[in-house]
A and B are shown apart, each in its own frame.
Chain A
Amino acid sequence: MKPLLSRRHSEPPTWADYFMARREQARDTALERYFDVGVPTPETPIGDVPMLAMDMETTGLDEQRHAIVSIGVVPFDLKRIRLAERRYWVVRPPRPLNERSITFHHITHSEIEQAPDLDDVLDELLAAMAGRIVVVHYRHIERTFLNAAVKARRGEGIHFPVIDTMSLEARLHRQSWWARLRRWLGRPPASIRLPDSRTRYGLPPYQAHHALIDALATAELLQAQIAHRYSPETPLREVWS
């Protein structure tokens, strides 16, 4: 007798599968350690998840042509953002800087000239990320740049789940029926930039474009989003990607 529901041949790979597989394959010890710590299950309530807010300043938007110049991270959970454990690195891009593409803000040429290569801080960065879900505002920068940079230096890339505060805002302001109604009425869509999103939750304005301050601002924003839209019991699968 045939089963009523045929089991699919293979489940779609999960983050846990990916971490498991990479742990086995990794040749770089730092990456092996990172994947060895593992990843929370999709059912874990968000209130129990250790997180790491991350922001990068880069010389441009294309990870093939541009490079990372600074990284700020702050560990946090829904209750507390722990500034004492913040980390901040300025790193020297491998390619000579194209003057016109330089968009970094508070970082000077000489700071960069003296800065280490990303390779020298990567072990520390991976240690800070281990066991934590990375939280960013606009996921396409941090994930792609880090993957490219790690691949270039260690010969193997890195993927990791992120919670993207911008796409959480977009769900409400770009995809909801209310947003569609606004569009239909010809109203401009609400801005989902970091400062504008923060204002909606009563968060104070911060001076933007410093990787560490932006990471702090992102962590605060996620705390606010969960408080208003979700709950500490919300399973991780509803907010990560």
Chain B
Amino acid sequence: MQVELLEVRQHMAQFPPFEQLSDDLLDELAGQVEVGYFQAETDIYRHGDAVEYLHYIRSGAIDLYRRNGDLYNRLSEGDIFGQFDLLRDQRVRFPARAIEDTLIYFIPLTAFQHLCEADDNFADFVEVERPRLESTVDQQRKGHEMLVTRVRKLATRAPVMVESDATVQEAAQRMGEHSASSVLVLAAPQTSEDSHAFTHEDGQLRRMVGILTDHDLRNRVLAEGRPASTTVGELIDERPITIQSDESVYEAMLRMLRNNIHHLPVLYRRRPVGVLHLSDIVRYETNSSLYLVDNIFRQPNVEGLAAMKSDVRAAFVRMVNEDDNSQMVSSSLSSIGRAFTRRLLELAEEELGSPPVPYCFMALGSMARNEQSIVTDQDNALVLDDSFDPEQHDAYFLTLAQRVSDGLAACGYSYCKGDVMATNSRWRQPLHVWQQYFRDWIDDPSPERLLHSSIFFDLDSVYGDEAFVESLQDLVAGRASQRPRFLAAMARNALNRTPPLGFFRTFVMEKDGEQNNTINLKRRGTAPLIDLIRVHALACGSRAQNSFDRLEDINKTRLLAGHSGERIRYALEFIAMVRIRHQVIDIQEEREPDNNIEPENVSDNERHNLKDAFQVLSNAQKFLKFRYPMPSQKR
């Protein structure tokens, strides 16, 4: 009789890449593991040793070293190592040393190969040998949706259970004690061969025979006048509908809808491990950005919109916890921001009447790039039809702009500190004026002049007559690449903010308002990267607004050598993701999220990756300086 090794399996089931495996694969894996103990300060592998295992750290911590003795990576409970060596030449590349007393589960090569064949996610996780930064980023990209999220993730509370000979009163008491809306009903197995039987905590063999819900207590006990002494067994339907813990949330939802039930007992094999309620799924789905956007358009007024602020944060936290990458998170946040803006414009138009002349509401900065974060202010403008007459029409558009701006502020998008908003009459102009603005900036630039207007080089329409904004995008794309002085001025501004790296590749801290040593990941990381990508994009004549789209356009030309475009992409993705993750931590710990991280709160692995990413930025800035020199001034 081979018994399941629950202790081993349950631990591995908590950590990637094993968390996504089916229960069967996990059980099979647990049974093949070999175990070894290493005292602190002892070597596990030396360079060049043969490797025949994937290693899983069950407890303790280890360091991996480069050949020259530099620390490569520090790993702890739940981490794996050796996968790349296994896939390449089965020799140790990075020697490993235990830094605490460490227990390692050795997964034999054959079991490893079997997992790679049986599970694509597992194979993706371990197979690709690439530089560290890139593989970290790619792991983050694996989005999970309802289809791949397993039920065990939502059903986390142990079920409340009673015997079938308990009275409904006892059942109701148990439900009350546990604030549960259902109890599972157990009975002795009918035969010793019962295929539904499981071993209960008390060692007795039991089978689950049904579920009793608060709904049943009302409809089948109170409404029908049954006494409190009625046994639970008399009420329940035998053969309840159930779901296995490793099935998908989507499957659970279908099963509830198909059977018109709100409670679904969750089983691990035959053992009940929880009850999924329809509201669990609704709550899970409510935090999705699609649902949010839909909900935004249903709000009847600004108050309704403002009340959704916490939903936006919840959706943000969920996206990050489900390993969405920074592009998915920030484009979702941008869609949400656009939805707020559009709904505010709709509401304003309902109240103020139709606009006297056509217009387009234009987003600038991060919203235009589809790169919004949870900490963001509003940058917007109005492009009006050339028939616009300020005397007659401006009162309407000023009120419209104020409604939107105040509304956005109420929804958590603070006013723009530089007053780049449609409420500013300078940024509420007919198309021909806007075209003149852009010609002036491009034809007669100076770094000082562009410093305040570079935000306008990320622009996109949000609502209204899109053609206005498209004509401005065309103008910029056609003209900017022909003006070396403009590109040089933009490049010079893009060098204003440097990565926080010291001479010896150490972090250089800055003091925040509270005198903590921090690094501002936006100012010192994402913003300068976005700036330099914009310069190259303008030089290439790209019409793209999103930084990653711009990089694709840049990479189609030969402007950047070798793989530097790829490296910039990974660096931007990584820094953006660290920033996002730290904002999630802020939200979860009920602090106001910001762009600062404290390096001592960053894991070692993250710290190494961050340094790599900042180094990419630093190199890219050096190239920018060289590529767009300031031409000699002719006055």
Chain A residues close to B by CB (< 8 Å): 72, 76, 79-84, 86, 88-90, 104-111, 113-114, 201-204, 206-207, 210, 212-213, 216, 219-220, 223-224, 227-228
Residues of A within 8 A of B5 (CB): 83, 86, 212-213, 216
B42 CB to nearest chain A CB (Å):
7
Across the interface, do B34 and A82 meet the contact criterion of CB distance under 8 Å? Answer: yes
- Contact B59–A106 (Cβ < 8 Å): no
User: 14 A-B Cβ contacts within 8 A?
Assistant: A79-B36, A82-B34, A83-B32, A84-B32, A105-B203, A110-B205, A113-B192, A202-B103, A203-B101, A210-B3, A212-B3, A212-B5, A220-B35, A220-B103
Give 4 A-B pairs besides A105-B203, A210-B3 with Cβ atoms closer than 8 angstroms: A88-B3, A108-B199, A203-B103, A223-B37
Residue interface bits B559-584, CB-to-A below 8 A is 1, else 0: 00000000000000000000000000
**Known contacts A88-B3, A219-B35: does B101 contact A109 (CB below 8 Å)?**
no
Q: Which residue of A lies closest to B189 (CB)?
A: A110
B35, A81: Cβ atoms under 8 Å? yes
B35 touches A202 (CB 8 A): no
Please name all residues of chain A whose beta carbon is closer than 8 Å to the beta carbon of B156 when the two chains form the complex.
none
B58 contacts partner chain A, Cβ-Cβ < 8 Å: yes
B31 is an interface residue with CB less than 8 A from chain A: yes
A residues within 8 A CB of B192?
110, 113-114
**Min CB–CB distance A96 → chain B (angstroms):** 18
On whether the beta carbons of B34 and A202 are closer than 8 Å, the reply is no
Question: Does B65 touch A at the CB level, under 8 Å?
Answer: no
Cβ–Cβ < 8 Å partners of A207 in chain B: 6-7
B60 within 8 A of A: yes
Specify the chain B residue showing the minimal Cβ separation from A114.
Answer: B192
Smallest CB-CB separation from A216: which chain B residue? B35
Q: Give Cα distance in the complex from A201 to B59, angstroms.
A: 11
Q: How far is the CA of A106 from the CA of B37 in the complex (A)?
A: 27
B105 to chain A: closest residue by CB: A83
Query: How far apart are the CA atoms of A108 and B108 in the complex, in Å?
Result: 34
Mark B residues whose CB is within 8 Å of A.
Answer: 1-3, 5-8, 11, 30-40, 42, 58-60, 100-103, 106, 108, 189, 192, 199, 203-205
Summed over the interface, the residue pairs from A and B with CB atoms below 8 Å come to a total of 94
A81 touches B34 (CB 8 A): yes
B199-A223 in contact (CB<8A): no
| A15 → chain B closest CB, angstroms | 27
Whether A88 contacts B2 by the Cβ 8 Å rule is: yes
Top 6 A-B pairs ranked by shortest CB distance?
A202-B101, A223-B37, A81-B35, A227-B39, A204-B59, A80-B34
The distance in angstroms between the C-alpha atoms of A76 and B37, with both chains bound, is 12
Given A202-B59, A220-B103 in contact, is the A104-B39 Cβ separation under 8 Å?
A: no
Chain A residues with CB under 8 A of B199: 106-108, 111
Q: How far is the CA of A105 from the CA of B108 in the complex (A)?
A: 32
Inside 8 A of A204's CB, which chain B residues have their CB?
Answer: 11, 58-59, 103
Shortest beta-carbon distance from B55 to chain A in Å: 12
Query: With A105-B203, A204-B58 in contact, do A80 and B106 touch (Cβ < 8 Å)?
Result: yes
Q: Are B37 and A203 in contact (CB under 8 A)?
A: yes
